[in-house]
Structure 1
Amino acid sequence: MARATIPHVAKAAKLSVSTVNRALHEPHKLREETLKQVLQAAESVGFYGTATLKQGLRLGRPKVRVGILLLQRHRTLYRDLAKAIEAAALASRDHEVMTRIEFLDELSAQNVAAGIHKLAEQCDVIGVVSTEHPIVSAAIEELSARGIKVFAIISQLTARCNVGYVGLDAWKVGRVAGWAIDNICKRPGKIGILVGNHRYRCQETNESGFRSYFREHANGFELLEAQSTFETASIAQEVTEDILAKHPDLLGLLISGGGVSGALNALRSSGRSKDIVAVGYDLTEVTRAGLLDGTLNFLVSHPLPQLASEMVSAMIRTFDNGAEYPPQSISLPFEIYTPENIY
């Protein structure tokens, strides 16, 4: 059989020879639909240049450079989120989304600001998980003045410019956690509250929604003052042990933020885990184990694939629409897990 040539491809694609030549040598001048049409025809006739056409199809898409700044790499939530973002970027059909994902081990506001400035040197749009802090806000404002838009991920941020957001409605999450404890506990009593850091607006708002539920529906419970774990498992264990020692009549525990493994270790070691209703956040191997052995009773979780997909899509929109298009805020539905529906 004769070797397939450009005229063969043009005939199969019902396009001109010049269009096929352009697909091979100047793909950026053709629409993606045309490039796909040429590639399909080339594959059907066994054309030798299909690899070049596939490369051209990638080159023909607009490029968006996305920078993501996440918290500690050792935390499963953020490793899983990074994988979900990379998958969402690869799944984009109309754009070539190039991701640069960095993790912060030291979580100071100064380090966050330095991290997003570094990403901005190579990226068009930035996504960040961070505490609310004037230094972080100032960094976002500086990027905005340079035309680089910023999205807050999981925990909302504010600045004197538009800041996008992709995550849960933290107030609703807190109220759902309150509903869970109210309905699982057999009687009213004391409820402990752990937060990682109140400067994460999601955690501050979670607690606000949690307390709001009890004020409205179950004021027979006594909600203790929230204790900070500083996003650290060892501190979370110490704080939980202290709460258990001071309150032998504790009936419930809300675990919000980092350090959940330490809190669960303290509950297990106390021998009281079956008597205390514990509510946590985000399905990881640690919280899954807690649900399986009964240390955790209820879990509210981010839908990570959807979060990543919505975030990448929102970043593409704000990039495509130029300087006057503000980054959007997107509130996602959350997932709920109990010992009966994990898999």
Structure 2
Amino acid sequence: MAGQTVKQRVTIAELAQEAGVSISTVNRILAGADNVRAATIEHVQQVAESIGFYGTGVLSARKENALPHFRFGFLLQQSTRDLYRLFGEKIREAAATRRDVRVDCLVDFVDRLEPANIEGRLRALGKECDAVALIAADHPLLGQAIRELRDDGTSVVTYITDQSAPERAGFVGTDNWKLGRTAAFFISQMTQGQGRVAVFIGNHRYQCQDVADAAFRSYIREHAPDLVVNESEPTHEDSARAYNMVRDLLAKHDDLRGILIVGGGISGVLRALREAPEERRRQIKLVCRDIGPETRKGLTEGLITAALCHPMTETSQTLIQTMIDVTTRDTPGPTLQRTIPFEIVTPENI
């Protein structure tokens, strides 16, 4: 229209001048050449956005393509459990927020927990990925698979619970010794006089649970000798089994004062406690691991004294970074140990 100023389109020469690079560098970026550093592409893209250059979409695509690209596998457990599905979601979120690399996540769940089945799934995932993160009970079959994957160039990072295989590339999880003693602190400080405490684990081969169990007993021996700790019983990650175990305890032991559950089965434990008389429930202090919908409900009801949890966002971010670190190092090195402080959630701070 007459009298209206037409805004001139920013040229490649003007973009190059503003970005402090040559015109040929901008042209190479726009053409998709692979001999331009990712940092330069990112800088030019930022300048282009700030001055309104017409080709910002192309520059964004070039920047994305120039980033280091990884394909990581994550072998989690039991797709039926909300907790593991939440772990998977947080892993994907941690990968998506990275701006310096591209990470494709292949999240797989193992519902049959037999070692041979997990070993086969681990090997299959390892063939498709640059590195694999694994949650599983420690077993020689998995150790052999970890060793052979390492020899084939695929790193395995253990996650939440460790493996004894020296060839594993890294471990990301909490300090389970401190966790076990913290659980014992809660139960011992909130009970009076003599009594009995039950300890439920998922499986005797989960290192994280075994260490927490030993630490729990260590604290009780040192600070609460009036409490008797039962032999650890495995739930096999089965809520129905955990339900029956708690019902038997309530029927046989009037002196039950505490329950520590460091494996799966919390929904079964809570169901049994809800069926008990209210006065009996109040006598029992329950400490568990990690927080999902069922645990959150138990906390709000006051059935759970404390949940000792992995901070999922921080743990997932650290896991992704650890997998990048072990994948990009020149030669296999010592196992990277990344310890994340656990969170303490109670009915008052949920």
| TM-score past 0.5 threshold | yes
Q: Is the deviation greater in 149-158 or in 326-335?
A: 326-335
The residue number in structure 2 matching 1:303 is 311
Contact 2:72 2:103 in 1 (8 A): yes
The residue number in structure 2 matching 1:18 is 24
Aligned partner of 2:341: which letter? P
Deviation of 1:105 (Å): 1.0
Q: 1:294 to 1:45 in 2, by over 3 A?
A: closer
Return 5+ residue gaps in structure 1 as ranges. Answer: none
Aligned partner of 2:332: which letter? E
Q: TM-score, normalised by structure 1?
A: 0.96
Deviation of 1:11 (Å): 2.3
The residue number in structure 2 matching 1:64 is 70
Aligned runs of 1:185-196 on 2, under 5 Å? 185-196=191-202
CA distance in structure 1 between the aligned counterparts of 2:252 and 2:80, rounded to whole angstroms: 31
Instruction: Deviation per CA, 1:214-271: give whole Å up to 9, x if none.
Output: 1111111111111111101111101111111111221111111101000110011012
- Aligned pair count? 342
The match for 1:157 among 148, 163, 171 is 163
Provide the secondary structure at the position in 1 that maps to 2:236.
coil
Q: TM-score, normalised by structure 2?
A: 0.94
CA distance in structure 2 between the aligned counterparts of 1:188 and 1:299, rounded to whole angstroms: 24
Contact 1:157 1:163 in 2 (8 A): no
The residue number in structure 2 matching 1:282 is 290
CA distance in structure 1 between the aligned counterparts of 2:340 and 2:263, rounded to whole angstroms: 18
Deviation of 1:327 (Å): 4.1
The residue number in structure 2 matching 1:90 is 96
The residue number in structure 2 matching 1:245 is 251
Q: 1:27 to 1:233 in 2, by over 3 A?
A: farther
Q: Does 1:140 align with 2:146?
A: yes
CA distance in structure 2 between the aligned counterparts of 1:40 and 1:160, rounded to whole angstroms: 45
Instruction: Deviation per CA, 1:2-29: give whole Å up to 9, x if none.
Output: 3333223212222111000111123532
The residue number in structure 2 matching 1:263 is 269
Instruction: Deviation per CA, 1:81-126: give whole Å up to 9, x if none.
Output: 1111111112222211111111111111111111111111211111
Deviation of 1:163 (Å): 3.9
Root-mean-square deviation (CA, aligned residues, Å) is 1.4
Provide the secondary structure at the position in 1 that maps to 2:303.
coil
The match for 1:324 among 306, 328, 332 is 332
Deviation of 1:179 (Å): 0.7
Q: Is the deviation greater in 70-79 or in 176-185?
A: 70-79
The residue number in structure 2 matching 1:179 is 185
Aligned runs of 1:19-38 on 2, under 5 Å? 19-38=25-44
The match for 1:77 among 72, 83, 90 is 83
Q: 1:235 to 1:253 in 2, by over 3 A?
A: same
Deviation of 1:160 (Å): 4.2
Among all aligned residue pairs of Structure 1 and Structure 2, give the percentage whose two residues are the same amino acid: 38
Return 5+ residue gaps in structure 2 as ranges. Answer: 1-6
